[in-house]
Amino acid sequence: MKSGVKMLDIANKLGVSVVTVSNALAGRDGVSLQLRKKICDTAEELGYIPSAARNSKRKVSALKTVKTVGLITSERYVGGKGTFYWELTANISNRLSSANAFTVYECISSENEQNAVMPNIITENKADGLIVIGQLSRNYLEKLSRINIPLLFVDFYDTRFNVDSVNSDSYHGGYIITDYLVEMGHRKIGFFGKVNATSSINDRFLGYIKCLMENNLEYRKEWTINDRDEKGILYTRIIFPDDMPTAFVCNSDETAFRVIAALKSKGVRVPEDISVVGYDNYTVSSICIPEITTVEVDLDRMACAAVEIMTRKICDPSYREGRKIISGKLIVKDSVLNIHGGCKE
């Protein structure tokens, strides 16, 4: 990878200002989605490495005194050890420890989420800051948004509340994973995911839709299939439409894994008969047969950004970051058939 590439190099190549490049790469408002995509693609092409990512293990600025930061997630995100959210939570916790912060983790039960029962660390006034990892119900967030300590959302956002957040670039990710299928010759593409379950799934779906529109491909409602119930619990049984597309975009690798297993149980081969792509590039994408083509979420950069923002908010309660967006990248594996030539790439 090239070294020494600066924002100025990207700006000069595209004929835009350094400020525009900085805002685009940082995910700030004021840059159109089309221009942001162009800037991010050029940055990757030139080999630009953001200062925050030059050393994924770098230490964040330490707090002057020991503080306590609460980490909470909904119980629906907590399966067996090794899940996406477990690793993200552990990564954030480790970085907080390095920043001189003591962490307390609480899992929010479905009952407490439904009744908007606040975590003990908040009701007992034991936290100097709170990080919410994974989307909770709007009623719960509404009550949570009124706490008088620094608050940060990770891997989701809600435009109704004026709360800082750190997110993967799900809109762009949904677009590039769908566009890869188009490049491989697919014209009938479905989507697996409960569209309004989380902001991330919604954005991935919108990226998928944008790609279909730009390529003049038909959107068929019956090809958008829910993968979970109203409580966010993944279905154990998957029902496919009678008329199948040639490929499915799945909102996560977990869902892609389940879709592939369900297809195999019906005697459908992946990718020979139907191609399947996922999102996250987490463990399950590599243990699946075939390995799942996906979009990688940079957990290190998300955790680093979350801790940087929280430490700044604790030191200066008036500090606002807004919505921080972390770019991902396409990871090509074995679950997509190139149907231009009728053979796998």
Domain residues for 33? 7-49
Closest CA to 131 of 113, 104, 158, 110: 104
Residue 55 lies in a domain: no
* Total number of domains in the chain: 3
Over residues 219-227, the mean pLDDT reads: 96
Q: Are residue 21 and residue 162 in the same domain, yes or no? A: no
The answer to whether residues 196 and 255 belong to one domain is: yes
Work out the angle at residue 319's Cα, subtended by the Cα atoms of residues 147 and 310, and round it to the nearest 5 degrees. 65
Contact 133, 88 (CB under 8 A): yes
| Residue 338 placed within a domain | no
Among 206, 203, 204, 246, smallest CA distance to 223 is for 246
User: Do 76 and 163 belong to one domain?
Assistant: yes
Residue 134 has pLDDT above 70, yes or no: yes
Q: Omega into 245 within 30° of 0, i.e. cis? A: no
Same domain assignment for residues 189 and 276: yes
Task: Let me know whether 274 and 308 are in one domain.
Answer: no
| CB-CB contact of 136 with 113 (8 Å) | yes
Look at residue 168 and tell me whether its pLDDT is greater than 90. yes
Flag whether 332 is in a domain.
no
Domain presence at residue 282: yes
Does residue 117 sit within a domain? yes
Mean pLDDT of the chain: 89
Residue pointed to by tokens 């990688």:
296
pLDDT by residue (tens digit) across 284-304?
888 899 999 999 999 999 999
CATH of the domain at 224: 3.40.50.2300
Q: Are residues 175 and 292 in the same domain?
A: yes
Q: Report the alpha-carbon distance of residue 68 to residue 86 in Å, rounded.
A: 20
CATH of the domain at 31: 1.10.260.40
Q: What is the pLDDT of residues 180-211, one digit of tens each?
A: 999 999 999 999 999 999 999 999 999 999 99
Whether the CB-CB separation of 21 and 11 falls below 8 Å is answered with yes
Q: Is residue 334 part of a domain?
A: no
Question: How far is 148 from 164, CA to CA, in rounded Å?
Answer: 14
Q: Are residues 164 and 174 in the same domain?
A: no
Residue 21's pLDDT band (cuts 50, 70, 90): confident
Query: Is 35 within a domain?
Result: yes
pLDDT tens digit string along 69-82?
999 999 888 765 45
Say which residues have a Cβ less than 8 Å from residue 335's Cβ, sequence separation at least 6. 256, 260, 270, 271, 275, 276, 277, 278, 288, 290, 291, 292, 293
Instruction: Give the residue carrying structure tokens 């029902």.
Output: 239
In a domain, 38, yes or no: yes
Q: Do 103 and 39 reside in the same domain of the chain? A: no
160 and 130 within one domain: yes
39/84 same-domain check: no
Do 157 and 200 fall into the same domain? no
Q: Which amino acid is at 227?
A: D
Q: What's the pLDDT tens digit per position in 242-270? A: 999 999 999 999 999 999 999 999 999 99
174 and 318 fall within a common domain: no
